[in-house]
Chains A and B, each alone.
Chain A
């Protein structure tokens, strides 16, 4: 509401994530209210954020209302409790009709519940770190580069091991699993290129493929070694 592109953003939870997020958003010119229900944490953060933080349990409707949720452009729930984050986002979206919500997933096993309640997007630090790890350690297997759940597409990256069953084969002879497509090859010394049917795959290549969700395992064994690699 109001001045320029500045939005009104409510952040539930003043942990490390919430506090830093608030700081960044305020710096960018947004109006921010953080809600924190731990008295000590509230007192500590209030020293810096002053009127931009309120004391209370953000899953209490009157606390959200006091923070002005009805005029909020965005609600970000980053408490350490997944049920709280789910509830806060659900009421923000369905009761107070807030345009945009973002939820933090603490335990990745709870992801299906966020989806069941229609809460998206959500951010899971564990998943992010796992992906970084996969990227840094290619031996780890298959790397998710991009997921487009709405479009039902994924892009993955995979390193061809020395004993990969496709090493030495022409791309045109590959016979990829239905629903998948080889889109690029990253090769030592050559960088990335789009393969032609005549391109011959080599061990050590990193292949990028686009695929329908759910084909990861099939693709992993397709590009993998005879006798399965690391999970």
Chain B
């Protein structure tokens, strides 16, 4: 599978390394040339020698997306530090370039929820953090019996 990741911060670079290690083709796009260094954390060779691709540019520039290989991408991950940027470029990837799998990282749970309903595949780390925190706190309060959050990642603890 060919994966294009836009936004190469902690999340993007980590996913990129994992996908590459799992034998997929990975291309990263970031507006900051320095983001390249992050990709090489814990690698003993350069990102390119490991098989990765890196392009400098933003996800709003079509030339940059094309240079990064969006036309043959099987999956597109929008993981820049801007929610709105991720929402917009995910829709570009989907509607304009017909990428089969498009995932947008959206930190704001409200925006994530609505766009999820609109058919944008979203990951909301804030939601996950909220659920974990709520669970921990409720358990500490001796009330972990399920009264809290509805979407239960309810791993029973004994």
Q: Which residues of A are interface residues toward B (Cβ below 8 A)?
A: 59-62, 81-84, 86-87, 91, 94-95, 109-110, 112-113, 116-117
Contacts of B60 in A (CB 8 A): 82-83, 109-110, 113
Instruction: Kindly state whether residue B91 has any CB partner on chain A within 8 Å.
Output: yes
State whether A59 touches B91 (Cβ < 8 A): no
Contacts of A82 in B (CB 8 A): 60
State whether B95 touches A116 (Cβ < 8 A): yes
Known: A113-B60, A116-B96. A61 touches B84 (CB 8 A): no
C-alpha spacing A110/B87, complex, angstroms? 15
State whether B92 touches A113 (Cβ < 8 A): yes
Contacts of A95 in B (CB 8 A): 114
Closest 10 CB pairs of A and B: A83-B84, A87-B84, A61-B110, A83-B85, A83-B88, A84-B84, A86-B88, A59-B84, A87-B87, A116-B95
State whether A91 touches B114 (Cβ < 8 A): yes
Q: How far is the CB of A11 from chain B (nearest CB, A)?
A: 18
State whether A94 touches B118 (Cβ < 8 A): yes
Interface size class of B (residues with CB under 8 A): 10 to 19
Instruction: Kindly state whether residue B108 has any CB partner on chain A within 8 Å.
Output: yes
Q: How far is the CB of A168 from chain B (nearest CB, A)?
A: 43
29 residue pairs bridging A and B, Cβ less than 8 Å apart = A60-B108, A60-B110, A60-B111, A61-B110, A61-B111, A81-B84, A82-B60, A83-B60, A83-B82, A83-B84, A83-B85, A83-B88, A86-B84, A86-B88, A87-B87, A87-B88, A87-B111, A91-B111, A91-B114, A95-B114, A109-B61, A112-B62, A113-B60, A113-B92, A116-B91, A116-B92, A116-B96, A117-B88, A117-B91
Q: Could you tell me the dominant secondary structure of chain A's interface residues?
A: helix
C-alpha spacing A77/B82, complex, angstroms? 18
Q: Which residues of B are interface residues toward A (Cβ below 8 A)?
A: 60-62, 82-85, 87-88, 91-92, 95-96, 108, 110-111, 114, 118
Selected contact of B111 from candidates A59, A94, A113, A117, CB within 8 Å: A59
Contacts of A91 in B (CB 8 A): 111, 114
Contacts of A86 in B (CB 8 A): 84, 88
C-alpha spacing A91/B91, complex, angstroms? 14
Contacts of A112 in B (CB 8 A): 62
Q: How far is the CB of A162 from chain B (nearest CB, A)?
A: 38
